[in-house]
Amino acid sequence: MKPRVHGGGSTAASRQGEMEKHEAPAEAVSNALTIDFEDWYQGLTSSSRRPQDWARFERRIQNAGTWLLDKLAQHRVRATFFIVGEVAREHPELVRRIAAQGHTIGMHGDMHQRVDSMNRAEFAADIRANIAAIEKASGVVPRCFRAPCFSVGKLTPWLWEELAIAGVSVDSSVFPVRSLLYGMPEAPPTPYVVETRYGAVTEVPVTTVPMMGTNLPFSGGFYFRALPYRAVAFATRRLNARGQGVVFYFHPWEFDPDHPRPDSTTRREALSHYGFLSTAGQKFIQLLKQFKFSTVLSGSSLVGSE
């Protein structure tokens, strides 16, 4: 059975109509900061992707993650952390600190494998292992999920049903763009509710900005790093002025510019993973200072009245 979808496009259209009458002050709108909590080698998408290769890589998330948590504490910002199961098993103290600082805890795949590379039963097992790892480390049962590499789409029609069965109420795996590795360009660009026979899941897509007839990404990863800060701030202000919060996404390794580069690194990864790392930390801090943030679960401008 195909899940029913409501919200999203129509909400965006009606919201836009309202906004033309009453422009919200940008500072009244909360944006959501999300962190895909993975170590640098797990974030390599075309080389060194296999877990059996991971043993030989230097662990750096302890330092990169601590830097990130310190900055969030310093600027009193709460975020949503999507945590890889293997990271929770190797560094349970980091997961406990994330929880202690009041951040929302979610999942990012047990071994950071693409969801569209699994069948339904494999995904069901993966998400259970991910929940168990996080619960063992911190005592928290995660209720939100982001697929590694936004790897959901036509191959994963069972995604929302499996999330609902696992008790997940918020998903942020949809990136409404067309890209080489991911993207659902036909998906609504703003949050919407997917009703399944096992319960409802609120889908919170990563934010894009409509420009030149298409949805342009700007709010995280390579796009955030490559764009000048003023372009990111401009797009954020523009959406906030319409009452829409922006969902940003970052990875700890983006703030660790000296992390190793294996010989197997492809030319595309040299740019998408290693490009523009040196200024990412400074731009991230500017963003924390300039805009208002909440977690995905508490961001009222993101998920309606919650």
Positions touching Zn ion (CB under 5 A) are 36, 38, 148
Residue 84 beta carbon to Zn ion: minimum distance, rounded to whole angstroms: 7
Nearer to Zn ion, 38 or 269 (CB): 38
Cβ atoms of 108 and 37 closer than 8 Å:
yes
Nearer to Zn ion, 8 or 225 (CB): 225
Residue 249 beta carbon to Zn ion: minimum distance, rounded to whole angstroms: 9
Residue matched to tokens 């740019």 = 271
Phi/psi-derived region of residue 111, left when phi > 0, alpha when psi is between -120 and 50, beta in every other case: alpha
Nearer to Zn ion, 38 or 171 (CB): 38
Nearer to Zn ion, 36 or 269 (CB): 36
Residue 206 beta carbon to Zn ion: minimum distance, rounded to whole angstroms: 12
Cβ atoms of 32 and 247 closer than 8 Å:
yes
Nearer to Zn ion, 148 or 243 (CB): 148
Alpha-carbon distance of 286 to 60, in angstroms, equals 24
With 0-12 CB in 10 A as exposed, 13-18 as middle and 19+ as buried, what is 222? middle
Alpha-carbon distance of 296 to 97, in angstroms, equals 19
Taking Cα atoms as reference points, which of 89, 12, 11, 92 lies closest to residue 51?
89
Residue 277 beta carbon to Zn ion: minimum distance, rounded to whole angstroms: 16
Residue 43 beta carbon to Zn ion: minimum distance, rounded to whole angstroms: 5
Nearer to Zn ion, 148 or 205 (CB): 148
Phi/psi of residue 180, nearest 5 degrees: -60, -40
CA distances from 214 to 15, 208, 209, 228, 269 (A): 19, 9, 8, 20, 25
Phi/psi of residue 222, nearest 5 degrees: -60, -40
Residue 150 beta carbon to Zn ion: minimum distance, rounded to whole angstroms: 9
Q: Which residue is nearest to Zn ion (CB)?
A: 36
